[in-house]
Structure 1
Amino acid sequence: MPHSGHPVPPPRTGAELSAARYRQPGVVLTDRRFTVPLDHRVPDGERIELYAREAVAAGREDESLPWLVYLQGGPGFGANRFSGAQAWLGRALRDHRVLLLDQRGTGASSPANRQTLPLRGDAAQQAAYLTHFRADSIVRDCETIRPEVTGGAPWTVLGQSFGGFCATHYLSAAPEGLAAAVVTGGLPTLDGAADDVYRAAYPRVERKVRAHYARYPMDVERAREIGAFVSEREPVLPGGHRLTLEAFQSLGIWLGAGDGSDRLHYLLEDAFVRTPGGRELSDSFREQVAAALSYAAHPLYALLHEAIYAQDGRATAWAAERVRAEFPQFDGAKALASGGPLYFTGESVHPWQFDHDPALRPLKDVATALAEHTGWTPLYDRTRLAANEVPVVAAVYHDDMYVDTGHALRTADAVRGLRPWVTNEFEHDGLRAGGPRVLDRLLGMLHGDL
């Protein structure tokens, strides 16, 4: 419940929730707003607002089309903001009316960030509020709004990355709401804890870093030079972010995307500039790094990243930080001292980020409370998945840096009727980077064309 001294504004109603229709090239868009229970176990309790953008191909606005709801990766990111029928959306609109859902706490839905969370009360109360922002609540949101959107008909869900985790929970908890499920880079481990996830992740990250240095051997020394400079100076970036050696290493998160190695190379090659006071990090480098490291636009990613793997009642207890100690090759200070290559890290969240990032500093106690939280409930029902009757297809990206391929394939085996497509053509962002090709392939598999 909200702190009595900080009342939470009620969700908008009436005219404030009315739909607004507008157009982009080839697409007609409608803003949709809904209210749902904060805690679906208490349907008459506090309610929060969800935003979704409906998209339909121009000229087909009045046709009866099957619905596809898109669940974005994350956690903590709103749905894609497209300009027209970009990327996979154009392919989806050939067959569907699409609902681009901003999951609770993200985008234009009721926000959850350093500015709004203090309305809930102290850090413990804020953390308790955020326990309602995992895949189970997101799926209940979908089932709450589905009757209003589709008239009660089941819909197809497209889950990218964390959205695929949500889709897998959907198959476990409410398969009656699904006509089909399409997953891209997001088949989760069904029973692995956060420790297991990161213990499998660090070797994959090492392979990605080695591949980057093989592609760009000049970056070995460049990364060491930047790392040494940062380690000595710990400069403050635009916006107030502290650039430590660990923060610099975390730029390796880019290596999970198709163009990430190239982006990292171009960043490193222009890092330094000569000034009257000596060698300094260039303004361009500092600006780019500040943007890459900031969680201002998606704080829930940092707050809930380990909680999405918690299922056995145990605290996650900063799993990525603890498991990292098992892989000494990622110790940046030792790498610089020994003359070895500096290893970048990947998709992980660490307690020091809540000291370095101005957008996260006010949330440090909240993050600690979530890391210490026990009582996380299971997200996946193996029995129901083994008896699944919903058509399911999934793209599994070989050696995906963000989602372990071995975990994904074991889950694919556990879901009755799931058809996996294992490919090394794409990285984790294949749905975006592949334009319409990835979704076209998966829909073809779903409809029996492939």
Structure 2
Amino acid sequence: MAVHRQPGTVITDHTFSVPLDHAAPDGERIEIYAREVVAAGREHDTLPWLLYLQGGPGGRSPRPLGRDGWLTRALDDYRVLLLDQRGTGRSTPATRQTLPTRGDAAAQARYLSCFRADSIVRDCELVRSQLLGPDERWSVLGQSFGGFCAVTYLSFAPQGLKEVFITGGLPGLRSSAADVYRAAYPRVARKNAAHYARYPGDVATARAVTRLLRDEVVTLPHGGRLTPEAFQALGLMLGSATGSHTLHYLLEDAFVASPHGPVLSDSFLTEAQHHLSFAGNPLYAVLHEAIYGQRSVSPHGTGWAADAVRADFPEFDAATALAGDGPVLFTGETIHPWMFETDPALAPLRETADLLARREQWPDLYDAAQLAVNEVPVAAAIYHDDMYVDTAHSLATAGAVRGLRTWVTDEYEHDGLRVSGGRVLDRLVRLARGEL
């Protein structure tokens, strides 16, 4: 068990063996990694534990650089556990490189069906029992998809929880994937309008980039294709605090002069690849819609819902935009089949992803009856007009969880926990404790 020191912190590595399928505890096992972080000088103190569940799906836990960000506040009170959820980071990985060891696409899809919130929560319970003892409870902080996992935790294992903090991650308990995206496209359109109002010159630049991509084959440095649809997917960043500005600076460097006329610059293509590639988190794409699958809501599966629903919002069609004089709209947190053709990190997983999209009878992830009688203190930050999680869905869920207290704010975007320097977490802690 390795121990490291960083400025203001002591970090301890932990690994745990857990069943791949918790319904078959004597079957195959995988490894889960977690990083314990405690304030320097307090490593021998008896402190309450705070488990952090990362957003995603498919996102590894943060790699801290000393006492920074929200950890600044958390370490005042807690011993923090940063969990690499199954398939991510240093936990047994699930990528284009490792999944072929499972067999064909059907075998890979069966394997990945065990990588949703219900399995993550059962992993957490095994980790809690080993680290704290079976009778000790811990606190949980869930960001985005981590908040979804926290609501699953409250549904099926509340006996392990002392208190729960959720930031930008209250899911719709009865929302299908289609419901999620039908609500999302108008929010993304509003984020586009705000961006173009802030940077009106980007309208012409985005149209020029889209026109070039329509007329020419453009290859990114890693060999993937930059198509008009892939270019539009850069809008994923519009839901963060600085995303609009980052997108503007990217567009600012889009073109350079060449002997053959204006071309997309190497710096633009490199930066675009950085934002578009799923090499670092392929499960985000492969499992994204599966996180909404519940047999009692959508028994026939998710079926590439974002792609299907997009047809109801023709304003996002790039060809239509170029045929007129309006802006090309960027898209948001949507996953499409074409991504498994243009991104080399996803291409080998195309059939696997399709099988997951067509999978039926996903187990339910939330227990409304249990949530209605919840006794665990819960505080949730709901970001007004959050681009990634629908505010109306979140408020409906807040009303369905007994005792849950909300903080609805437009001071922050979806990444408020990360950028607030501990202020978001501090408010939630005080809310859960009844200090506000």
- TM bucket normalised to smaller: over 0.9
CA RMSD of aligned residues (A): 0.6
Q: How does 1:16-27 map to 2 (within 5 A)?
A: 19-27=1-9
Amino acid at match of 1:247: A
- 1:200 aligns with 183
- 1:9 aligns with none
Q: Which runs of 5+ in 1 are unaligned?
A: 1-18
- 1:107 aligns with 89
Contact 1:77 1:298 (C-alpha < 8 Å) held by counterparts: yes
Q: Distance in 1 between matches of 2:82 and 2:424?
A: 18
SS of 2:427 mapped into structure 1: helix
Amino acid at match of 1:410: A
SS of 1:87 mapped into structure 2: coil
What's the CA shift string for 1:240-262, capped at 9, x where partnerless? 11000000000000001000000
- 1:167 aligns with 150
Q: Which is worse superposed, 418-427 or 436-445? A: 436-445
SS of 2:344 mapped into structure 1: coil
Q: How does 1:126-275 map to 2 (within 5 A)?
A: 126-152=108-134, 153-275=136-258
What's the CA shift string for 1:205-231, capped at 9, x where partnerless? 000000101111111111111111111
- 1:292 aligns with 275
- 2:352 aligns with 366
Give, in angstroms, the shift of residue 341 of structure 1.
Answer: 1.0
What's the CA shift string for 1:181-211, capped at 9, x where partnerless? 1000000000111000000000000000001
Amino acid at match of 1:286: L
What's the CA shift string for 1:18-47, capped at 9, x where partnerless? x11110000000000000000001111000
Q: Distance in 2 between matches of 1:436 and 1:107?
A: 24
Q: Distance in 1 between matches of 2:180 and 2:65?
A: 35
SS of 2:246 mapped into structure 1: helix
Q: Which is worse superposed, 438-447 or 235-244? A: 438-447
Give, in angstroms, the shift of residue 90 of structure 1.
Answer: 1.4
Amino acid at match of 2:216: R
Normalised to the residue count of structure 1, the TM-score between the two structures is 0.95
Give, in angstroms, the shift of residue 148 of structure 1.
Answer: 1.1
Q: Does 1:351 align with 2:337?
A: yes
Q: Distance in 1 between matches of 2:171 and 2:27?
A: 31
Moved over 2 A (4+): none
Q: Does 1:48 align with 2:36?
A: no
Amino acid at match of 2:334: S
Give, in angstroms, the shift of residue 137 of structure 1.
Answer: 0.1
- 2:406 aligns with 420
Percent of matched pairs sharing the same residue: 63
- 2:65 aligns with 83
Q: Does 1:316 align with 2:302?
A: yes
Q: Distance in 2 between matches of 1:248 and 1:254?
A: 12
SS of 2:77 mapped into structure 1: coil
Q: Distance in 2 between matches of 1:442 and 1:55?
A: 20
Identify the match of residue 18 of structure 2 among 18, 36, 45: 36
Amino acid at match of 2:106: A
What's the CA shift string for 1:90-115, capped at 9, x where partnerless? 11010000000000000000000000
Q: Distance in 1 between matches of 2:308 and 2:230?
A: 17
Contact 1:354 1:361 (C-alpha < 8 Å) held by counterparts: yes
Q: Distance in 2 between matches of 1:89 and 1:192?
A: 32
- 2:50 aligns with 68
Amino acid at match of 1:265: H
Q: Does 1:118 align with 2:100?
A: yes
Give, in angstroms, the shift of residue 277 of structure 1.
Answer: 2.3
Amino acid at match of 1:419: R
Q: Which runs of 5+ in 2 are unaligned?
A: none
SS of 2:70 mapped into structure 1: helix
Amino acid at match of 1:168: V
Contact 1:73 1:159 (C-alpha < 8 Å) held by counterparts: yes
Q: Distance in 1 between matches of 2:190 and 2:183?
A: 12
Contact 1:234 1:245 (C-alpha < 8 Å) held by counterparts: no
Give, in angstroms, the shift of residue 422 of structure 1.
Answer: 0.2
Q: Does 1:440 align with 2:423?
A: no
Q: Distance in 2 between matches of 1:447 and 1:155?
A: 14
What's the CA shift string for 1:366-397, capped at 9, x where partnerless? 01100110110111010000000000000000
Normalised to the residue count of structure 2, the TM-score between the two structures is 0.98
SS of 1:81 mapped into structure 2: coil
Amino acid at match of 2:326: G
Residues matched between the structures, number: 432
Q: Distance in 2 between matches of 1:257 and 1:310?
A: 26
